[in-house]
């Protein structure tokens, strides 16, 4: 099974974005009572009864991802801001997550940026088919093959940073960006954090589909809300837009090799230095495609084509770059490999 070696990099760069959320989520108010029961005269087993104060309303949100997989595409945006102090020193920052998701193509782009005391270079993550990409600031684009069934980006969808709700109050119905929505309000009780923080928020949920259209939350607290030595106010502002209409933009320059691929390409690996895929196109026709198309991408034929019994090889140049194009027939079709030998970087 293929594994995503960019997964660690993604998680590392996103860590700061998740840290405060995880701390606050783990510190909910859960009063307990304990009793000891004697077993066989010697062994003792401890049992606990948990009591959790929740909101008075009728709306419960157990899964913030609800309904998203049923959409053909969407754009999800979350902005979080914090203003307060950390270890007695003033702290102010803002972070933004923008997810563009195409469920039908199993492709995503996630951009992450920060300002203020947490400022870092903006980061872009993308997954297209069996390829994952990461680009931070002016650094070169990194790419790797992945198992499309194990998506790092999906696990870091901005919706995952929204708290579950236990008993939000009904606040009527209204349209949000042209979508009929049920509106609810809530406070710290629906977050399970009574006596730990003061919160107030609103959520708009699609009447048909149940997905979150808009979510706002303001929380004020100290150690028990945000972690030891942290005190202040944090806000969440989430919106789902361009539903079933999101178009993923092209990847940044340098994320893929500057070369075309045949329309019937399958099992595509496309990195800055290597393009590989399978096709049902005959070897001779595939070779003709590259001889015809590569000049339009700026490449000039250098050597070849060298034609074998069931394969073809040729080289092209562009400035101080050289690529080799290898096309060969196999038992299940034609294999195409385009490899960058040298680079001016």
Average pLDDT over residues 20-48: 36
- The whole-angstrom separation of Cα 60 and Cα 153 is 26
Confirm or reject CATH 1.10.287 for domain 7-241, answering yes or no. Answer: no
CA dist 135 → 6, 91, 141, 148, 285 (Å): 11, 27, 5, 19, 35
User: Higher confidence at residue 197 or residue 297?
Assistant: 297
- Is the pLDDT reported for residue 287 higher than 50? yes
In the chain, domain spans: 7-241, 266-342
Q: Is residue 297 classed exposed, middle or buried when 0-12, 13-18 and 19+ CB atoms within 10 A define those classes?
A: middle
Distance between CA atoms of residues 20 and 244, nearest Å: 32
pLDDT tens-digit map of 137-176? 888 899 988 776 776 666 778 999 999 999 999 999 999 9
* Average pLDDT of the chain, as a whole number: 84
CA 85 centroid distance within chain:
29
Q: What share of the chain is helix, strand, coil (3-state, %, to 5)?
A: 15, 50, 35
Higher pLDDT, 142 or 181: 181
Query: What is the reported pLDDT for 343?
Result: 55
Pick the closest to residue 13 from 144, 147, 160, 153 (CA basis): 153
> Are 130 and 107 contacting, i.e. CB atoms less than 8 angstroms apart?
no
Q: What is the pLDDT of residues 307-335, one digit of tens each?
A: 998 999 999 999 999 999 999 998 889 99
Quick: pLDDT tens for 222-268. Answer: 988 888 899 999 999 999 999 999 999 889 889 999 999 999 999 99
Q: 8 near 144, Cβ under 8 Å?
A: no
Contacts 24+ apart (CB under 8 A), 121-130: 123/13, 124/252, 125/6, 125/10, 125/152, 125/153, 125/156, 126/153, 126/251, 126/255, 127/151, 127/152, 127/153, 128/251, 128/270, 129/105, 129/268, 130/2, 130/267, 130/268, 130/269
Say what the pLDDT of residue 226 is.
87
Sign of the alpha-carbon dihedral angle for 287, 291, 297, 302 = positive
Tokens, residue 215: 């979510």
**What are the distances in angstroms from CA 229 to CA 17, 28, 193, 223, 226?**
18, 18, 18, 6, 8
- pLDDT above 80 (res 33): no
pLDDT band at 19 (very low <50, low <70, confident <90, very high): very low
SS3 state of residue 298 = coil
Within 13 A of 9's CA, how many CA atoms are on the CB side? 16
Report in angstroms the alpha-carbon separations of 305 from 315, 316, 326, 341.
Answer: 8, 10, 10, 17
């Amino acid at each position: 099974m293929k594994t995503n070696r960019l997964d660690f990099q993604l998680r590392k760069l996103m860590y700061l974005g998740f840290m405060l959320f995880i701390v606050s989520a783990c510190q909910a108010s859960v009063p307990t009572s304990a009793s000891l029961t004697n077993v066989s005269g010697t062994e003792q087993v401890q049992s606990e009864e948990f009591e959790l104060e929740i909101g008075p309303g009728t709306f419960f949100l157990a899964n913030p991802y609800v309904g998203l997989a049923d959409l053909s595409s969407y754009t999800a945006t979350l902005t979080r801001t914090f203003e307060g102090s950390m270890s007695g020193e003033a702290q102010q920052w803002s972070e933004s997550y923008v997810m563009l998701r195409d469920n039908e193509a199993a492709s995503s782009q996630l951009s992450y940026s920060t300002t203020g005391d947490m400022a870092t270079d903006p980061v872009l993550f993308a997954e297209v088919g069996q390829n994952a990409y990461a680009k931070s600031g002016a650094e070169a684009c990194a790419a790797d093959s992945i198992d499309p069934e194990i998506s790092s980006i999906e696990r870091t969808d901005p919706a995952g940073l929204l708290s579950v709700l236990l008993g939000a109050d009904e606040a009527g119905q209204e349209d949000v960006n042209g979508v009929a929505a049920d509106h609810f309000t809530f406070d710290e009780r629906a977050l399970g954090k009574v006596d730990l923080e003061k919160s107030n928020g609103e959520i708009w949920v699609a009447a048909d589909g149940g997905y979150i259209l808009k979510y706002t939350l303001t929380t004020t607290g100290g150690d028990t809300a945000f972690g030891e030595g942290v005190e202040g106010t944090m806000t969440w502002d989430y919106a789902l837009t361009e539903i079933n209409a999101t178009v993923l933009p092209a990847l940044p320059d340098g994320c893929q090799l500057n070369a075309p691929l045949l329309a019937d390409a399958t099992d595509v690996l496309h990195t800055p230095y290597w393009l590989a895929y399978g096709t049902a196109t005959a070897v001779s026709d595939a070779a003709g495609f590259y001889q015809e198309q590569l000049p339009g991408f700026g490449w000039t034929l250098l050597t070849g084509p060298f034609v074998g019994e069931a394969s073809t090889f040729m080289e092209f140049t562009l400035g101080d770059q050289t690529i080799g194009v290898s096309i060969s027939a196999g038992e299940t079709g034609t294999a195409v490999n385009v490899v960058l030998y040298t680079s001016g970087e």
